[in-house]
Structure 1
């Protein structure tokens, strides 16, 4: 999943961020095409823009280019056995083998999604690649395009997901029922698997593939934590709302709120020495556990202590 996000970020991103991929690719092909050598893969990756504010612009890779790069990275890093597939009409895609089963890899619409080979989701992915047509570069995600295959429950076929993944429609919460707000985004009370949970929505209205890649790496780490003094992380996902992605984390729900409310907003008398010792001991044990598994919190404060 992370590999696919890295390929997408290098060659044009996905979702609404990729709406101009085909126009940039067409320009690059026109400017750099060589009848004898063709276009080098590197010329379709990040470009250095000239001027006072020099910066990297996103790339302009088609589905064929992305598939070639994904295959190269998988082989180089030994991520998983990967093959490069191609139809007579030049539609190109990747398949990977996981636990003996073969999956089609999405490197464009929802990077990292794995569609069971031969399933409805895999067929929809290949159909969308082919529907771009021969007259324009493939791989562009056009505004108004149909929902990505993994978000269409009507399409048959299994999807291989990390153990922490949850489908957006499995989380029940109302954005009017907000429990808190912070620098990262907002928290809502909801339910998952019949249990009360806290649903954290990352603030960025339209995260890039790099943002989602960081999100995936972070929740992969959180999903391995288990300690009485650490809030339990349950699930996470990337949701699609109004054509834009949003990042959701499902965690344990704490009825009594956070420590800052107890210290600054509570109508009750100040904490007793005994209560303060209990709280301090619990915080210390939680931090000691994080240090034991080689994690630094770096943002320890009362609003982050439930």
Structure 2
């Protein structure tokens, strides 16, 4: 399987927006640099016209360079560029090749393997911050669109009884299994597919975590509401602050009560409770 590296010059104020839009197009992962971003995508799904359409929103004349990157070199690039992530002096997210730091109560090992959710993106950090404020002890958890599985793994560290983690991507599916194992989280069931394909609404969960993107969330909130236990909590992220009202409206229309929000660099995380 061949991958492409797309190098895009970008100013600091648009990097995260570009990453979100390219993620929606199926790009696997990203690395921010001083000059802009490096984006990685499978050769067979890359659509250059879609890339140009996204870039035209931010550049008068879309400019980028494309080069083919072998799978082996891709993983080497991750190891060179993946730095540990520290969240509120409580959570350290690191790869297995980093040194441990016992100053953090929670330490999550993540070997990305091209899956989203290393903690570097604002939305992952926001979700973890929100999780810190929720009682997970003995609870059933659904991590929808799990990527690396980092949120489900953290739920296990917080005492969750059962965790179900899902993703449509084959790389993410295999990666979350590996990451759960290296974190000694053995009560996390990993599944490949969408909520609808997996018929997950027949189960009930105390906490549902979904860090995806606005369009998928708007489509799936109705399913989350059906799968949420009475008084259960729904945490959503993957969208901009200007999308908050659209997300809130859909969730409230599905019988959920808005609780609180977190924001960072124009990204948002919303918490709802089943009323």
Give the TM-score of the pair, scaled to structure 2.
0.30
Give the TM-score of the pair, scaled to structure 1.
0.28
If each structure's strand is expressed as a fraction of its own residues, which one has the higher value? 2
Higher RCO by CA contacts (8 Å cutoff, separation 6 or greater): 1
